[in-house]
Structure 1
């Protein structure tokens, strides 16, 4: 079943310049699609348009149907109901997504309470369980902390726990490992892969790094200058890219992997 159906999506800046042009793709239930391209290719704008979160002044046309609801032109009340329930997002920098003045536990308990109606000790236990699920040690201590009191890797796990709290059908991961060092990045990718497989969730994974996308997705859509360049199964894109731009991305990913292998060699 198609969970997300994007057709002819065009995003324009306030002055009318097209930043994303006539983009179309689908994500089926349980499928994992990677959006890949260099910075400025329109990947993040696409995810914001899908969630109805574009910055003020930008306009969007075309269609983006999420879980049967047309997002383009939908009222804010309807969009709010979709977020968290049908789709949730993990951004690149959790400090911008987490409230710096609110303890971690409250930021997870809020959406949990709205979805489940839990209160008191039951809500606290569910919050601790959500933190434990993303492999955070001492969930009680983490829950009492403010975001600035924990590490960047821990903050990203908290953001993931908050996104998964309402068991959304689609997880949108927008460069979720870019701000992390290599070892923490690998742990985070493994965690995302494990959790979405356990829940049979769909994933829209955004990255500029093909090596990262290949680890957690089944299919890839390559973007350049706001347009789709190439689309296909990960093995086909990596093994036999058709477009010159895609071949450059594959070559860059292989060069990076080789460099990292040399650095880690004894």
Structure 2
């Protein structure tokens, strides 16, 4: 039986007690007993409201939890254990096995570095290229994510391009290392509806073309339905429902699932009948 690319088993995340710094004693559980798997080439949506633990899950998977938080349980990423591993071992997993696209590219991109240079850096970590080959690789990365005027964008700083262009650059950076898994953490939330649709189409196309796995994190059921077939629902740090998207929509069992489905249907109805919004 083939091992999944990602296996999260009984993951818990605790904030450490402020009363005894360095003691490692729990100060409060933020995630509790979260478990799921993601196979090679599979797409999974991780859904939950703000504060449900979605982003903490993503940070745990990549070993990027901030100071003051501690993970327990098991996370196998590409067959390697993440929980409790040394930073130098985790660096090898980031980029090569999994890359992350965050919600706000302005905070993910270096404001003092040209965008082309920011894409070139991860490429150089895994490939030995001449200067000309590196420039071509950067151009190819920008073209792949649907950007025009790639030479201008490569020379630009983050504040000199639009929000949608910045997010496409951030996606290009995440893809530049040819990872097996892309973790997209609310990548469209800060964008308007038209730009959001373009980013979702881009992710759908690239994931299909490369045969990658996708973990798509969002609070929006309708958005997740554009790119994932199976979902895990988080609420208050716990998994409350899971299954195929079609089954959860047709037969929602948990009250939170029913609430999400009802909200999505209400929005669809309002869009189909604009007068109802008056």
Normalised by the shorter chain, which TM-score bucket? over 0.9
Of 3, 6, 14, the match for 1:4: 6
Is the partner of 1:73 in helix, strand or coil? Answer: coil
TM-score in terms of structure 1 length? 0.97
Rg comparison, structure with higher value: 2
CA distance in 1, matches of 2:136, 2:271: 40
Give the equivalent residue in structure 2 for 1:60.
71
Per the alignment, residue 157 of structure 1 pairs with 168
Q: CA RMSD in A?
A: 1.2
Q: Please, which moves more after superposition, 247-256 or 27-36? A: 247-256
Deviations 1:141-162 (A, max 9, x none): 0000000000000000000000
SS at match of 2:34: strand
- For residue 239 of structure 1, report the CA deviation from its aligned partner: 1.4
The reply on whether 1:137 has 2:139 as its aligned counterpart is no
Partner residue in 1 for 2:16: 14
TM-score, length-normalised on structure 2? 0.93
**1:94 pairs with one of 101, 105, 108:** 105
Moved more, 8-17 or 103-112: 8-17
For residue 261 of structure 1, report the CA deviation from its aligned partner: 4.4
Structure 1 gaps, min length 5: none
Structure 2: state its 5+ residue gaps: 18-26
Checking the alignment, whether the CA contact within 8 Å between 1:88 and 1:168 is kept in structure 2 is yes
For 2:189 and 2:248, locate their aligned partners in 1 and report how far apart those are by CA, in whole Å.
22
Q: Distance in 2 between matches of 1:244 and 1:232?
A: 15
Tell me the CA shift for residue 251 of structure 1. Answer: 1.2
How far apart are residue 137 of structure 1 and its match?
A: 0.4
- How far the C-alpha of 1:252 sits from its partner, in A, is 1.3
Q: What whole-Å deviation, never above 9, does each CA across 1:146-205 have from its counterpart, x for those lacking one?
A: 000000000000000000001100000000000000011011100000000000100010
Q: State the Cα distance separating 1:256 from its structure 2 match.
A: 2.5
